Amino acid sequence: MAWDFSTEPEFQEKLDWIDAFVRTEIEPLDLAFSSHLVYDRSHPIHTTVIPPLQDQVKAQGLWACHLGPDLGGLGFGQLKLGLMNEILGRSNFAPMVFGCQAPDSGNAEILAHYGSDAQKAEYLHPLLDGKIVSCYSMTEPQAGSDPGQFTCRAWRDGDEYVIEGEKWFSSNFRYAALAIVMAVTDPDVSVYQGTSMFLVPTDTPGIEIIRNVGLGGEAPGEGSHGYVRYNQVRVPADNLLGGEGQAFAIAQTRLGGGRIHHAMRTVGACQRAFDMMCERALSRVTQGEVLAKKQMVQEKIADSYIQLESFRLLVLHAGWTIDQVGGQKARRQIAMVKVLTPQVLHDIVYRALHIHGSLGTSNEMPLMGMWAMMPVMGIADGPTEVHKLTIARQVLKEYKPSEGLFPSAHLPPRVAAARAKFADLLEHEVAQH
């Protein structure tokens, strides 16, 4: 009997250490500094405050745990990473202090899988050491979830590739040293076979940031999602990652990991909102009793707890499945948690916010900020609808159409067959009456 929902005591000790460390050492960073500074390596916190914290994480053997031992991580696997990311998901700065922040974690994974030794030396090792920031440049202004409409092109010219086209929402481009760019190299075949991936240093001539797009609520100029134009940008032919036409196969490695890691961190965010909801319900008095005594408040708490626990189990199960069969074969599980992520965040954060009344809507609580993350989770790394299509297509492969006009569950023939099977007994029953 292999089912087991327990955490081994040695790993629980690590989780307890992470929990205390995030609360005492990292959450103050979240309170004092803008979340943009996670990526802005020019800010003094990256030379003063952050490195000693990262050293403590390394001393605990918890650095870059999404990667295998050959790359300086512990090769925890996705299940342990899920438990750990739940805690890191409470904080903006924590993933960076633990060397596993998006999108660098996904970018490091594809460099580790597909990079040549030279590419690893030049880009992967500085990325793992936290010395540089990277970005991923795939979405275009006219097309995101439909890559068939991608027009950014790259072509070989002697020892170089030339990249021409525009990319949209390349997160952290303004802070990145390296952009991983997807461009069509063979327009005569399907985009899934004709697109390649390039490692592009962001100081390469010809790169133009049209503007840094901000999320709703961010002040103008604060944005960090690059609208980027590649004007005949030349990179050495060696900067091709994998082979020509392999971009989508490579992207699957990256986006699978990215999606599940967002979901893991969202479990932590939902837990945080739920904790706030319960504390407020026990503290706020109205009409002579605390909110926790009101049945409609109790219902909100029960519904939230059920959703949180179901989501958590599904995320951990998806992580376990990836550990067993790999990300490609766990696409259905990854898609399921991707779809649930904005939904559960929406429901729990909304209830927590609502129970706090006006205070919940104010900028004196973190709940409106958490609420703003909800639509992002439904769109970044592909919209909900596209992931639902993946789930439905995969599930439907396990079914076949019914034979004949009526469904296989149609009762008349089944009842007739059952009656025929028990004809003797049924006749006896009739005789008795």
Enumerate binding residues for ligand FAD (CB under 6 A): 103, 135-139, 143-146, 169-171, 225, 376, 379-383, 385-386, 389
Q: Residue 173 Cβ, how far from ligand FAD at the closest point, in Å?
A: 8
- DSSP letter string, 14-83: HHHHHHHHIIIIIHHHHHHS-GGGGT-TTSGGGTTTHHHHHHHHHHTT-TTTTS-GGGTS----HHHHHH
What is the Cα–Cα distance from 144 to 146, expressed in whole angstroms?
5
73: alpha, beta or left? (left if phi > 0; alpha if psi -120 to 50): beta
> Between residues 270 and 380, which has the closer beta carbon with respect to ligand FAD?
380
Tell me how many degrees the CA angle 201-54-113 measures, rounded to the nearest 5: 45
- Our CB check for ligand FAD shows the closer of 169 and 274 to be 169
- Cβ distance to ligand FAD smaller for residue 143 or 368: 143
Report the alpha-carbon distance of residue 53 to residue 40 in Å, rounded: 17
- Beta strand 178-184 with 134-137: parallel, antiparallel or unpaired? parallel
CB of 384 to ligand FAD, least distance (A): 7
Is 180:163 a contact under the CB 8 Å cutoff? no
Residue sitting closest to ligand FAD (CB): 144
Strands 225-236 and 240-241: unpaired
**CB nearer to ligand FAD: pick between 206 and 383:** 383
Which of 86, 381 has the CB closer to ligand FAD?
Answer: 381
- Compute the least distance from the CB of residue 355 to ligand FAD, in Å: 27
- Give the shortest CB-141-to-ligand FAD separation in angstroms: 8
- Please, what is the Cα angle at 393 between 391 and 397, to 5 degrees? 115
Question: Smallest distance from the beta carbon of 409 to ligand FAD, in angstroms?
Answer: 29
Q: Which is nearer to ligand FAD, 89 or 360 (CB)?
A: 89
Residue 30 to residue 356: CA distance in whole angstroms: 22
| Smaller CB separation from ligand FAD, 57 or 152 | 152
Q: Residue 73 CB, nearest distance to ligand FAD (Å)?
A: 22
Q: Which amino acid is at 283?
A: S
H/E stretch holding 226: strand 225-236
Contacts of 271 (CB under 8 A, 6+ apart): 86, 90, 308
